[in-house]
Amino acid sequence: MSTFQAPKGTYDLIPPESAKYLAVREAIAAPLKNSGYGYIETPGFENVELFSRGVGESTDIVSKEMYAFETKGGTKLALRPEGTASVLRAALQANLHKLGNLPVKLWYSGSYYRYERPQKGRYRHFSQVGAEAIGAEDPALDAELIILADQAYRTLGLSQFRILLNSLGDKECRPVYRDALQGFLRGLELDEDTRRRVEINPLRVLDDKRAVVQKQLVGAPLLRDYLCDACKAYHEEVRELLTAAGVAYQDDEKLVRGLDYYTRTTFEFVHDGLGSQSAVGGGGRYDGLSEMIGGPALPSVGWALGVDRTVLALEAEGIELELPATTSVFAVPLGEEARRVLFGLVTELRRAGVATDFSYAGKGLKGAMKSANRSGARYALVAGERDLAEGVVQLKDMQSGEQSPVALADAVDAIRERLA
């Protein structure tokens, strides 16, 4: 062990488990790439105000969880706690919305940072894959994103997840509801922190998981009863499109999500095998966010799925992903001359696209064969001085144990043929 350890609330991805993370990212990205979403990458930190204005001053993310710091030059930055605000900022900066091809559809994958109390499924550094469709108001886009996330989870083999769906209304109907809810909440027995929340962001009180709070929320006014006709029709259309696509969901009137920028459609993917950190992903429509960060009106919708929790969900369901073998051929040289010749052959095989590894540091036959075994290679390629004198290398089938000589000159083709 070194003097140092990974910081609290973080962990390292190490082979072979790290392969699962790559596979999960790839599985989430695949349906997006197949549906017109282009890849975007933004910096790991941004101007802190992007998040305080975009995500919202009163949210947990901004008020408690942000890694904010000042640079030597006096600029106030924050490690990104989420992706949407950065992606929208980047799209606006590049004028993607002015190219006349709306919606702008983007996907991303990366690391996010939140100063949280570490526990299983909740880390200070975690990884998300996300998607945003910017600049169009169309219920088919909301449905598309939910369908693609569902497809991603299903291709991974997950089945014990549920989709929770709600509408948060828009700038017409939500304020009316907000007032009604605030009036109701002011009459409850709440602790000081929660009473403050009632004043700043009453909808988020609905999200409080504590039984003392939930008990009192029975009879609270429901947003559903306050939705304006336009929001109602929009939501109904999203629901119908999901149903037509065979994607099951549950209406959840208390789903408000932790971010201020959501309007209309909001949704969360929860997995029943994860205990209290059950949200594997979530998202929604954010029609007002662009204006909040100084841009034009650009109604948009998006989601982010947590890679760490998706891996935990796979484990909870006992799913072993079929990961491609990392090494097909493992070369074992016996002696100095063989080392040079086989190293050359290894390079040729790699250039021909065959996953090949090599026994380094002059290991003896026994140790080298152990490494070949451990590598999971289909074939071991063994050669000593006598083989080279005859112009051959020995190809050993690691499953059957059978060994046969192959002419060195056609070794690459012969091996490719056998692997095909």
Binding residues for ligand ATP (CB under 6 A): 82, 114, 116, 121-123, 126, 128, 258, 277, 279-282, 304, 306, 308-309
Comparison of 45 and 126: residue with beta carbon closer to ligand ATP: 126
Per DSSP bridges, beta strands 68-70 and 329-333 are unpaired
Please give the C-alpha separations between residue 99 and each of 92, 96, 170, 245, 367, in angstroms, as whole numbers: 11, 6, 27, 31, 60
User: At closest approach, how far in Å is the CB of 280 from ligand ATP?
Assistant: 5
d(CA 247, CA 245): 6
For residue 269, the minimal CB distance to ligand ATP (Å) is 7
Q: Which is nearer to ligand ATP, 35 or 277 (CB)?
A: 277
Of 103 and 121, which CB lies nearer to ligand ATP in the complex structure?
121
Nearer Cβ to ligand ATP (11/360): 11
Cβ of residue 78: shortest distance to ligand ATP, in angstroms?
Answer: 15
Cα–Cα distance list, 383 to 70, 343, 349, 418 (Å)? 60, 11, 16, 18
Q: Supply the minimum distance, in Å, between the C-beta of residue 279 and ligand ATP.
A: 4
Q: Which is nearer to ligand ATP, 24 or 304 (CB)?
A: 304
Element of type H or E holding 39: strand 38-39
CB nearer ligand ATP, residue 102 or residue 312: 312
Virtual torsion, Cα 144, 146, 151, 157, nearest 10 deg: 180
Least CB distance to ligand ATP at residue 412 (A) = 45
Cβ distance to ligand ATP smaller for residue 116 or 253:
116
Per-residue tokens: 84: 């949407």
Nearer to ligand ATP, 238 or 304 (CB): 304
Beta bridge partners of 38: 106
- Least distance in angstroms from the C-beta of 268 to ligand ATP: 7
Q: How far is the CB of 108 from ligand ATP (least distance, A)?
A: 13
Shortest CB 151 distance to ligand ATP, Å: 17
Q: Which amino acid is at 398?
A: M
Structure tokens at 18: 């790290």
Residue 251 near residue 166 (C-beta atoms within 8 A): yes
What does the DSSP assignment read for 233-262? HHHHHHHHHHHHTT---EE-TT---S-TT-
Residue 38 and residue 22: Cα distance in Å, rounded? 19
CB proximity list for 277: less than 8 A, separation 6 or greater = 119, 120, 121, 122, 309, 312
Is the CB of residue 190 less than 8 Å from the CB of residue 251? no
Nearest-approach distance from CB 257 to ligand ATP, in angstroms: 6
Token pair listed for 400: 């059957």
Report the residue closest to ligand ATP, judged by CB: 306
DSSP code, position 119: B
Give CA separation, 388 vs 290, 338, 344, 411, in Å. 68, 7, 13, 13
Longest dimension (CA), the chain: 93
To ligand ATP, the closest distance from the beta carbon of 320 in angstroms equals 21
Closest to ligand ATP by CB, 105 or 309: 309
Question: In the complex with ligand ATP, which residue's Cβ is closer, 234 or 262?
Answer: 262
User: In degrees rounded to 5, what are phi and psi of residue 50?
Assistant: -55, -40
Amino acid in position 250: Q
Structure tokens at 197: 């929340």
